[in-house]
Every structure is written in structure tokens, then in C-alpha cells.
Amino acid sequence: MKLIIFTDLDGTLLDDATYSYEKTLPALELLKREGIPVIFCSSKTKAEIEYYRIKLSNTHPFVVENGGGIFIPRGYFSFPVSCPPHTGEEHGSYYRIATGTPYSFLREAILELQREGYCIRGFGDMSSEELAELTGLDIDTARKAKERDFDEPFLFRGEKEQEGALLAFVAAKGLHLTRGGRFFHLTGENDKGKAVSCLIGLYRKQGGGAPVITAALGDGPNDIPMLRQVDYPIVVRRPGGGDELRICLPHLIRAEGTGPEGWSEAVLRLLERLS
């Protein structure tokens, strides 16, 4: 029986303030020795995630921009990959399954919201320098964060009572809003759960239908669709508590530690539980 682990990055595998992953390294090394795939499933872009894949020698598929795109290394599966109605297309050294709404359409919606008077500022409105100052990223990483295809993060500085009208406006456009940390994310029909479900199906097919055990770790509302899809949903605490406290799912496991420390602790406990 094969174990597969899906994980968010910011606030889980990565420290939310420093973006450090040092505290996860012992658990990641153990997972590598055991041959357990760790699949990054994040709101980050392809360019951002590739940086961490190289740093952590991760060779598995990954999910970008809240499920908008699934990237699978060529030859990883022994059959053509698809998630009907979406098929895999060659994209450099990967096959990409694109399920998200094109970024240009999302930007048009942001501009329309701004014209309607909503106090919104998206990544597409910011320079790399501004984004770096806002997020604590270095300039190069901020540039990578702006290389978006399927998801537009934005800050909303309007009144709380405006959020309902904002949601209605977005829904009328056939789009969706989710929340990840301080940012709202404007997306199409995609979400992390649909991407995770697709990959689980591909792993089962690769194994000839043999059972797989799945786990996922996240820390915010945009992780809920991913957590719903797995056998062991794990929520990692944020320092001081926050959005993760709003997550309430059957069989939810709450990590005792925060950030990468909580991530590592939860993974090691899961391995012990399944041994």
C-alpha cells in the first residue's frame, strides 16, 4: 500500500515569515528513504515551486496556483496523463494539465472591480520591488511570484461589509475567491482538491489499481478542498492562531507545533501511526 503526501508550502513546509524549510529536512529525508512522494500543492507559481524542488531535490509532480496547473515530469507515469476533460500537453521537461482560467481573464476582472470602486490591489498591479517589500520576499523571488498563469492574489482593503458584494460580483463572472494568509485569490473553477484528486487517480492507475493512502498538510481555507480529498487531512497551526482555526473537517488532525516544526512533527507521527 503506497503513501502519498500532498503539502502546501507557505506556513506549512515553509516558515511563513522567513520561508525557511530547515526544520522539515529530517522528515523529508526519511520520506525520501522510504520512497514516499511529497507533492507540493501551493498558490505559488511554477517558477517559485521549481526553486524549492531544486533546493529539496524533489522530483515528483507538483500543483501550482491553487490547482490551476498540474506539472508532471516526463516519464514519471508510464501512460499519457490527463484529467478529463483536460489532457496533458508538453511543457518543457513536463507534461502540464491546465485546468485554470487564463490569467488575462482574471486580470480583466480585477480591473473591472477596481473601476467599480473596490479597494483592490493585485500582484499584477505591483512592481517586483513593491511585492518584495510587502511579502518579505527577495526581488528575484518576487519576480517569480508575478509569473502567473491561473491565479491572481490581491489585497482587499475595503470595509468588511463589502466582502459579500465582492463575492457576488466574482460569482457573477463565473469565478471564485479563496483566502490564503493575508491575500484573497481570484481563480476559475480550479482548486487544490480537484488537482489532488486527479493525481491520486494517476497514482492508482500507475499501481494497477492497488490501494494508496493519502495525506495532506495545509494551514488555510484555500487548503480545504485538498484536505477533503485525502485519508489523513492535517492542519498546521499558524503562530498565534488564525485561519487554520476555521477549518473543521471529519477526522481532521491538528498538528501541535506551528509552521515547519508542526509539519515535521505531524509527518513523523503519521509515519509512526502507519508503521
| Catalytic machinery residues | 8
* Cα–Cα distance for residue pair 152/36, rounded to 1 Å: 32
Strand order in the sheet with 183-187: 120-122, 152-156, 183-187, 176-180
CB 254 within 8 A of CB 237: yes
Three cell numbers, residue 196: 489532488
With vertex at residue 200, the alpha carbon angle to CA 8 and CA 251, rounded to the nearest 5 degrees, is: 65
* Residue 217 CB neighbour total at 10 angstroms: 28
Dihedral pair phi/psi, residue 183, rounded to 5°: -100, 140
Say how many residues make up the chain: 275
d(CA 115, CA 144): 27
Q: What beta strand segments (E) does the chain contain?
A: 2-7, 38-41, 62-64, 69-73, 82-83, 86-87, 89-91, 94-98, 120-122, 152-156, 176-180, 183-187, 212-218, 232-237, 253-258
| Under 8 Å between Cβ of 205 and 212 | no
CA dist 94 and 115 (Å) reads 39
